[in-house]
């Protein structure tokens, strides 16, 4: 069985809308230099777990952040829109990981003067069952 991040990568790369915009350019934490754009990086920002009065419930809701980067604002925005189409409201099982719900919590735009690149960051709360 995959971990949550592996399951999210599988889900995104199986979507033709996402791959039409980003190809397979989906990277953990950092987008490598000299890679074609638009590209997307993902990372776990927090790892909250839910508890019941008698202990662990097995339910987790980490915040996963995706950073969509492009040479133009429209490229970063198109990547973010493709990502949102797949993840926002998603519910299902991927590689044995039962994702109960994915909620887009926050989205913001940025421009980096040093690199001249545009980015759109999206934060999702992903509710899923841990093993």
pLDDT in tens, 79-126: 999 999 999 999 999 999 999 999 999 999 999 999 999 999 999 999
CA 57 to chain centre: 24
Q: How far apart are CA 40 and CA 23, in angstroms?
A: 10
The pLDDT score that the predictor gives to residue 47 is 79
The pLDDT score that the predictor gives to residue 118 is 98
CATH of the domain at 60: 3.30.2000.10
Provide the number of structural domains found in the chain. 1
What's the token pair of residue 107?
């989205």
pLDDT tens readout for residues 40-80: 999 999 877 766 777 676 688 999 999 999 999 999 999 99
20-25: long-range contacts, CB 8 A cutoff, minimum separation 24: 20/82, 21/78, 21/79, 21/82, 22/68, 22/79, 22/82
What count of Cα atoms within 13 Å lies in the side-chain half-sphere of residue 114?
A: 0
The pLDDT score that the predictor gives to residue 2 is 67
Domain that holds residue 38: 4-129
The pLDDT score that the predictor gives to residue 20 is 98
pLDDT tens readout for residues 20-39: 999 999 999 999 999 999 99
What's the token pair of residue 61?
């809701």
The pLDDT score that the predictor gives to residue 46 is 85
What count of Cα atoms within 13 Å lies in the side-chain half-sphere of residue 96?
A: 6
Residue 8: pLDDT band with limits 50, 70, 90: very high
């Amino acid at each position: 069985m995959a971990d949550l991040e592996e399951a999210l990568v599988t889900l995104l790369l199986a979507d033709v809308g996402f791959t039409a915009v980003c190809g397979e350019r989906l990277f953990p934490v950092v987008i490598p230099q000299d890679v074609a754009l638009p590209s997307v990086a993902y990372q776990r920002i927090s790892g909250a777990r839910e508890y019941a009065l008698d202990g662990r419930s097995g339910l987790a809701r980490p915040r996963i952040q995706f950073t969509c980067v492009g040479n133009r604002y429209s490229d970063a925005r198109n990547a973010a829109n493709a990502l949102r189409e797949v993840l926002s409201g998603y519910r299902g099982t991927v590689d044995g990981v039962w994702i109960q719900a994915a909620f887009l919590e926050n989205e913001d735009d940025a421009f980096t003067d040093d690199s001249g690149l545009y980015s759109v960051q999206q934060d999702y709360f992903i509710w899923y069952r841990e093993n």
